[in-house]
Amino acid sequence: MQGTAPYRLSFVLLGIALVLAWLLNISSGSVNIPFSEVVSILSGTAAQVDTWNYIIWDFRVPKAFTSILVGGGLSLSGLLMQTLFRNPLAGPFVLGISSGASLGAALLLMGTSLFVGMGSLSFLGDVSLALAASIGSFLVLAVVMVVAQRVKDTMALLIIGLMFGSITSAIVSVLAYFSSAENLQRFIFWSFGSVGNLSPQQILLLTGIVLMGILLSIISLKPLNAFLLGERYAQSLGVSLKRSRFIIIIATGLLAGGITAFAGPIAFVGLAVPHLTRQLFDTMEHKVLVPAVFLYGSILMLLCDMIAQWPNSANVLPINAITSLVGAPVVIWLLVRKRKMLF
């Protein structure tokens, strides 16, 4: 396949767009800080108002950074899944992986109090929620993978993914019914999705997880390209199916599971961004698509977070709702315009 050279200009434009989106994201929020002040604060000069300094550095910059990780990571996991499952509709949500993460989080937030009390939760703290959600998403991903081996029909696979979603949400409902109001509220707030409110330690952990996912994607670039032909062709090209599939699944699970754990279930980014990226980069080469999808996803997430923040008001809308409002029409538009979704 061709190298990345013909897409250099597109990458430069995406890079500029990312910086712009990042600046816009940081300069908007509940407190109105003039753009020139934002720039001077970011360049290291102290602001006229002391609290502005604090707002920018301790709140908005980490939030923007988390947006980049979340948007880029989810989009990348969507790309990996679409290639692995040979299905343009694959994504963390459609295949039930986010539902798995929800189940893990629900079991921890609402289930532990039912069974063992809150002692264990406070002991493990931040890490336990991430761990529970990750385990949940890995379990669902593993089951989907086993089913995918038996069911070659991708349509059936999607329906099975949706069924998993139904099963997990049913279990979550049962848990919610028996849960205390306080725990239920914690779960509901988690399920709204949020890229703010992460502690520096959590951001550090999330960065590690996303970097790991990116690294595993990079070492899988060649098998990913081979998978575009189908599994048998990939095998005939010398790809070790079991090993490559395993690495790609781990990468997907880390990205989708880890991000959902920290930021809550964020819909449609993983499904829509790979398709949007292919509108801009007319290639299937993963050497181009992996970085492009990550950049595109980051930009979109920064913009969605900006809308969720509702400039100059104290209201913060659930980011999950915003991404759905943006993402679902995009998927419909792509289907109507091309009549067929390709990957």
Partner 1 sequence: MENKSKTILSTKNLSIGYGSKIVAKDIHFVLEPGVLCGIVGVNGIGKSTLLRTLGRFQPKLSGSIQLEGKNVEDHSPSGLSKKLSVVLTEPPASKNLTVGELIALGRQPYTNWLGTLSPEDQKQVQNSLDAFLLNELKHRKCHELSDGQLQRVLIARAMAQDTPVIILDEPTTHLDLYHKVQILKMLQQLAHDQQKTILFSTHEIDLAIQLCDKILILDGDTNPFGDPCELIEQKHFERLFPMEMVQFDAKTGSFKITK
- Residue 273 is a binding residue for partner 1 (CB under 8 A): no
Nearer to partner 1, 76 or 322 (CB): 76
Among 143, 171, 235, 335, binds partner 1 (CB under 8 A): 235
From the list 36-44, 68-76, 192-200, 279-287, the region that binds partner 1 by CB under 8 A is: 279-287
Total residues interacting with partner 1, rule: CB under 8 A: 31
At closest approach, how far in Å is the CB of 243 from partner 1?
Answer: 10
From the list 13-21, 179-187, 230-238, 313-321, the region that binds partner 1 by CB under 8 A is: 230-238
Nearer to partner 1, 30 or 283 (CB): 283
Q: Is 143 helix (H, G, I), strand (E, B) or coil?
A: helix
Among 45, 48, 120, 236, binds partner 1 (CB under 8 A): 236
Positions in 101-160 near partner 1 (CB under 8 A): none
Nearer to partner 1, 234 or 295 (CB): 234
Positions in 310-329 near partner 1 (CB under 8 A): none
Task: Determine the Cα–Cα distance for residues 47 and 22; give it in Å rounded to an integer.
Answer: 19
Query: Which 8-state DSSP code applies to residue 6?
Result: G
Q: Are 326 and 296 in contact (CB under 8 A)?
A: no
Alpha-helical regions (H) of 111-230: 112-115, 119-124, 126-150, 154-178, 181-192, 200-219, 221-227
Nearer to partner 1, 113 or 244 (CB): 244
Positions in 188-227 near partner 1 (CB under 8 A): 219, 221-222, 225-227
- Residue 230 is a binding residue for partner 1 (CB under 8 A): yes
Positions in 240-259 near partner 1 (CB under 8 A): 240
Q: Is 310 helix (H, G, I), strand (E, B) or coil?
A: coil
Positions in 66-95 near partner 1 (CB under 8 A): 83, 86
Q: Are 214 and 206 in contact (CB under 8 A)?
A: no
Q: Are 18 and 12 in contact (CB under 8 A)?
A: no
Nearer to partner 1, 189 or 343 (CB): 343
Q: What are the tokens at 35? A: 């753009």
Q: What are the tokens at 138? A: 């890995």
**Cβ count near 10 (within 10 Å):** 17
Task: Determine the Cα–Cα distance for residues 108 and 259; give it in Å rounded to an integer.
Answer: 17
- Residue 287 is a binding residue for partner 1 (CB under 8 A): yes
Q: Are 304 and 298 in contact (CB under 8 A)?
A: no
Residue 155 CA to its chain's centroid (Å): 23
Q: What are the tokens at 110? A: 């609402």
Task: Determine the Cα–Cα distance for residues 259 and 249; give it in Å rounded to an integer.
Answer: 15
Among 238, 315, 336, 339, binds partner 1 (CB under 8 A): 238
- Residue 2 is a binding residue for partner 1 (CB under 8 A): yes
- Residue 233 is a binding residue for partner 1 (CB under 8 A): yes
The conformational region for residue 190 under phi > 0 = left, psi -120 to 50 = alpha, else beta, is: alpha
Among 60, 63, 245, 278, binds partner 1 (CB under 8 A): 278
- Residue 10 is a binding residue for partner 1 (CB under 8 A): no
At closest approach, how far in Å is the CB of 268 from partner 1?
Answer: 21
- Angle at which helix 181-192 crosses helix 97-106, to 10 degrees, equals 150
Contacts of 81 (CB under 8 A, 6+ apart): 87, 90, 91, 92, 95, 252, 270
Among 237, 311, 312, 313, binds partner 1 (CB under 8 A): 237
Nearer to partner 1, 63 or 278 (CB): 278
Residue numbers of the site for partner 1 (CB under 8 A)?
1-3, 83, 86, 219, 221-222, 225-233, 235-240, 278, 283-285, 287, 340, 342-343
